Amino acid sequence: MISLHGYVGANAELGKPDTGGQVVYVLELAERFSRLGKQVDLVTRQFEDQPEYDHVDENFSVWRIPFGGKKFIRKEDMHDHLKKFVTNCLAAIKKERKKYDIVYSHYWDAGWAGQKIAEELGISHVHTPHSLGWWKRHTMGSDMDEKKMEKTYRFKERIRKEYFVYQMCNYVIATTLPQVDLLTQQYDVLPRNCGMIPPGINENRFYPVPSKENDKIRTKYDIHPSDILALGRMAHNKGYDLLLQALPTVFELCPEARLVAAIGGDQSDQDNKGIEKLKTLAGELGISDKITWKNYVADEDLANVYRSANIFTMPSRYEPFGMVAIEAMACGTPSIVTVHGGLYDLIKFGNQALFADPHRPVEFGAMMSMPLLYPRLRNELSVEGARFARRNFGWTGIAKRMLKIFANSINQQTMETNIFTA
């Protein structure tokens, strides 16, 4: 497995730059592959003072390959260094005399490198995009100056390399059905070479607890029974400014409500500037006194923070999937999600969750108010949302589905190799 950007390790440093849902995704899958008897090296970049290996268990290790120097590199700039990674990784594989059956890469940076490595090793390559450059570029088109967007995100280079990866790899595993459509329509992927398997959740961490137990949890985390929770990285696409614009509607309908904003986490200058902009916007909207800011939630506290809130909200401008919403639902916390993402297509409105367009603040605010106003609705969403999350997104079941795809890809690669050598 290859996942290059962010801080990837046995103990994930969630909240640091470029370190969020994808890191959780690859670590959980690697662990489940290991439990199912597979030998897994999760290959990532070595930088700062990180060790070469994290040995997680007898089947699974995080293996760090140095390239691009010692400093952190944001994912948008990673492709400047990918050729060096390919060279260093192949040299390390040969030195260690490692043998692999398949390369499974994540995001387009690792996808481009993974395709080169798979070709050199003569093995199959399966890829998960996590997000698509074409979709992100067209979704952000009206929100940012064209030149600034290209300088920041380098979409032209990204989309060109994505096209190469999706055409050349054996199979693309999308995380949502809209991604499958875009792969075939915008990247010319053959329908037989792509499919959808959703992300998973850790069923042993994210689950509901009795209401009396939840009362004690709320006291510990200073979260009220009528609080709304927003949680995630500080990023433009997450739509936290849109959420703030929707809150006056909520407070008009539910004066006792508050927002608990667990946003950011690494206290970087970029995060701090983003949060300060949000606080300024809250002041302009006259809602500063109704927001509690929590810029970091430790991983061990995450499930309890989800459980404590009355509802969870995901106001993203675009969201490839939305793992945080699934985790909240699994904890029994009703979720209001964006219509601009993959999860929207999977849920039954009013039964498992609610959805709305965050670009329409009154609409989004009204949806957030519904579970606060109507306890019977909240209970319905709590029970059915948790059932939906656990039945459809347990990591072990997800891993088994992926192993079937790997087996098919390996068999295909073997047949092609035999024909060529014959």
Place of tokens 């979260």: 223
Same domain, 307 and 322: yes
Is the pTM for the entire model greater than 0.85? no
pLDDT at site 116:
98
Which class for 289: exposed (0-12), middle (13-18), buried (19 or more C-beta within 10 A)?
exposed
Structural domain contains residue 2: no
Angle made by CA atoms 199, 13, 316, in degrees to the nearest 5: 50
Q: Do residues 230 and 275 make contact, with C-beta atoms less than 8 angstroms apart?
A: no
Same domain, 309 and 167: no
Same domain, 171 and 89: yes
Helices and strands of the chain, counted as H and E runs: 15, 13
pLDDT at site 421:
65
Show the tokens assigned to 109. Answer: 């940076």
Same domain, 164 and 221: no
pLDDT at site 94:
97
Same domain, 300 and 413: no
Integer CA distances (angstroms), 296 to 5, 71, 91, 230, 248, in order = 21, 23, 39, 12, 25
CA–CA dist 328, 385 (Å, integer)? 9
Same domain, 190 and 156: yes
Q: Each residue of 35-89: pLDDT tens digit?
A: 999 999 999 999 999 999 999 999 999 999 999 999 999 988 888 899 999 999 9
Among the listed residues 82, 6, 74, the one whose alpha carbon sits nearest the alpha carbon of residue 42: 6
Tell me the pLDDT of the chain averaged across its residues: 92
Tell me which residue range forms the domain holding 332: 211-393
Same domain, 365 and 401: no
pLDDT at site 144:
62
Binned average pLDDT, 10 residues per bin, the chain of 422 residues: 95 86 92 96 96 96 97 90 97 97 97 97 96 84 69 86 96 90 95 92 91 91 96 90 98 98 79 92 97 87 96 91 90 96 88 97 98 97 95 89 95 79 63
CATH of the domain at 221: 3.40.50.2000
Same domain, 285 and 399: no
Q: Do residues 8 and 48 make contact, with C-beta atoms less than 8 angstroms apart?
A: no
Q: Into how many domains does the chain fold?
A: 2
Q: Each residue of 283-336: pLDDT tens digit?
A: 999 999 999 999 778 888 999 999 999 999 999 998 877 889 999 999 999 999
pLDDT at site 272:
87
pLDDT at site 1:
98
Same domain, 216 and 336: yes
Strand partners, 338: 356
Same domain, 233 and 153: no
Structural domain contains residue 76: yes
Same domain, 240 and 361: yes
Place of tokens 């199912």: 36
Same domain, 189 and 242: no
Strand partners, 354: 336
